[in-house]
Chains A and B, each alone.
Chain A
Amino acid sequence: MILIQHLTFSYGDGTFRLRIPELTFESGRSTVIVGPSGSGKTTLLNLIAGILPGAGGEVNVGEFKVHGLDENARRLFRLRNVGQVFQDFQLIDYLNVLDNVLLPCRIHPSVSVTKQLRERGRSLLQSVEMSAFEHRSVTQLSQGERQRVAICRALLLSPRIVLADEPTGNLDPVNAERIVELLLSETERSGATLIMVTHDHSLLKYFDRVIPFEQFLERRGVDKASGGAS
């Protein structure tokens, strides 16, 4: 379970201040966060992943108190427990499809690219119907294909949490639904907790839970927080 309590975070200029009194995410369930641009959705994902250090409050992910970890420990926590899918895919151009999927192993301090992991990568690609593109450069793929590769990369090390930051932002409605279904089926199969951020309200129906996010944002000293979400 992910438990966030009394979390506050602001950027340097003070115009943006996130304040979450309490927020929980059940293990193995899918949650979608919606809200306007700049409402702090991505910031929340970065705080859960440990990319940003919390300024105050607690971010507890299972037994990990992410808020209390130093940068190196947060990095290891992220590498071992979190799979991330980004809006703009962020694939590495100079690696082929399979190597992009295997990237988390190549940057992992204690995991090496074994035959089993290669097979796992191939199996993930097969599950998203991308096995024929295994050796192709990612620059030759369509947007939908690239996002599928990014999802395989996020799932490679069987993370406990999958954070998807507007993964359908660049996709047409048909491909967007396919990507969401894929994310849901893959996380359901591995038992991972899925937290997805989106603007697209047509996708909300696929998720166990929907969190409207603007309630947590304070702008220019105006407090819009109204307590915990459900």
Chain B
Amino acid sequence: MKNALYLAWRSLAWHRGRSVTILLSLAITIWLPITVRMVLDQFRREISERANATPLVLGARGSRIDLVLHALYFDSLPPAETTMAEMEPVNELSAASAPAVAIPLHVRYRTQSRPGIEGFVIVGTSPEYLEFRNLHIASGRMAGLLGECVVGANVAQRMQLRPGDSLLSAPRNAFNLASDYPLKMSVVGILSAAHSPDDDAVFTDIRTTWVIDGIGHGHQNLNPQTDSELLLKSDAESGSVTANAAVLPYTEITPANIDSFHFHGEPSTFPLTAIIVVPETDKARAQIMGRYLSSNATTQCLKPPEVIDELLSIVFRIEQLAWICSVAAGLVTSLLLGLVVNLSMRLRATEMQTMFRLGCSRLTIAMLHGAEILLLLLGATTLASAAALFTLHFAARVLRSMLF
């Protein structure tokens, strides 16, 4: 067999154009179903793990899948926003008989992109989120003050960030001068890698995202003695002043101006994009679910595993389709390979005749052909496996972005 393999190897190396073509055809045929299976398995495992680790998600009524994917992956926007008021029922139930933690999420903004680096999502939340997702600080400290943030491991790596650096939020509409201004946030901590979407996020206090939203802002103190060019109206009797557009809000929260930051409006109306609810008991879970069962409620309470199962059933259909395509491609490749081998045997009839005349057995000649096919299959399998692993490394994220 050693000699047959040697001769087969020499033959393949000599006919390298033909060999490479067959090798690549076989590799792609093997790679496709393996990769589809591996990528979907990984995707299924990863998405199920995160869904199973998230007990309940509250948010505005609308697409169930969009809301759950938003709460889990921050990728898609929920159908509509909800408000801080929706935290109250959970807190009330928790105080009464259903112990649970409500974690607000406000995810509408991204950081400014840099050449070659897309902006990362800014997640406004409470400190409980990091505890709930078991996220730890690798360097620096937790964000405590308005305008501070901690960044996921991938964000830090890609943007070369260290504690003490700063990040700018991206304006949602660069052409609308009346829109929100970019906020310069200071990075105070870097999170350890969690190998989850949290690695690609910037976490800040939820109030900071409201500042980006324009609900809260800071500017210099105004009083009747302020430069009149900054005032639209001044009532000397009441002491009230109205600023004009010349007063610009601060775009960075510093120890010097932090006290000037304030929020306008009723806190219960401040926007949230979703709320993660972590009931401590099954009873608490049932009570919270029951609270949102009413069909005319404007808020829905979802169990992520159930919603993700719905999504996976769609993925399973895609997998079946991919399998059918793979089988068809495999069949075509096998037929073409058969044709190539057949034609190759005809072309090499003189060579085989020489071998036979020298005393080579028909079995050995068959072994030579077999060894060539074996080497091609081994090469194709190795190539396909390497390509599958390489694809797997990148595909989960790509697939997620394609699906969501």
Contacts and interface: CB of A to CB of B under 8 A. Distances in A.
Interface of A: 49, 51, 72, 75-76, 78-80, 82, 84, 86, 90, 92-95, 99, 103-109, 112-113
Nearest to B7: A106
Interface in B337-368: 350-351, 353-361, 364
Contacts of B10: 94-95, 99
B361 A109 contact: yes
Q: Tell me the dominant secondary structure on chain B's binding face.
A: helix
Nearest to A93: B14
A94 B344 CA distance: 14
For the complex of A and B, 3 pairs with smallest distance between CB atoms:
A79-B359, A94-B14, A107-B360
Nearest to B364: A107
Contacts of B353: 90
Nearest to A79: B359
A100 B148 CA distance: 76
Given A86-B354, A92-B351, A94-B10, A107 B15 contact: no
B244 interface: no
A90 B354 contact: yes
A90 B355 CA distance: 9
Contacts of A92: 351, 354
A11 B324 CA distance: 53
A75 B14 CA distance: 28
Contacts of A86: 354, 357
B240 interface: no
Contacts of B11: 94
B359 A106 contact: no
User: What interface size band does chain B fall in?
Assistant: 20 to 34
Nearest to B355: A107
Nearest to B3: A106
Contact of B3 (A75, A76, A112): A112
19 contacts: A49-B357, A51-B356, A75-B359, A76-B359, A78-B358, A79-B360, A82-B359, A84-B357, A84-B358, A92-B351, A92-B354, A94-B10, A94-B11, A103-B355, A106-B6, A107-B358, A107-B359, A109-B361, A109-B364
With a 10 A CB-CB cut-off, give which of A78, A105, A106 has the most chain B CB atoms: A106
B247 interface: no
Contacts of A75: 356, 359-361
A78 B359 contact: yes
A126 B13 CA distance: 27
Contacts of B357: 49, 51, 78, 84, 86, 90
Nearest to A157: B359
Contacts of A49: 357
Given A107-B355, A112-B3, A94 B360 contact: no
A90 B15 contact: no
Nearest to A50: B359
Nearest to B359: A79
Nearest to B12: A94
B358 A104 contact: yes
Contacts of B364: 107, 109
B13 A104 contact: no
Contact of A108 (B7, B350, B359): B359
With a 10 A CB-CB cut-off, give which of B6, B353, B358 has the most chain A CB atoms: B358
A104 B359 contact: yes
Nearest to A88: B350
A113 B10 CA distance: 15
Contacts of B359: 75-76, 78-80, 82, 104, 107-108
A79 B358 contact: yes
With a 10 A CB-CB cut-off, give which of B11, B13, B356, B357 has the most chain A CB atoms: B357
Nearest to B365: A107
Nearest to B8: A94
Contacts of A99: 10
Interface string B1-42: 011001100110111000000000000000000000000000
Contacts of B356: 51, 75
A90 B350 CA distance: 8
Contacts of B15: 94
A103 B351 contact: no
Contacts of A108: 359
Contacts of A80: 359
A79 B358 CA distance: 6
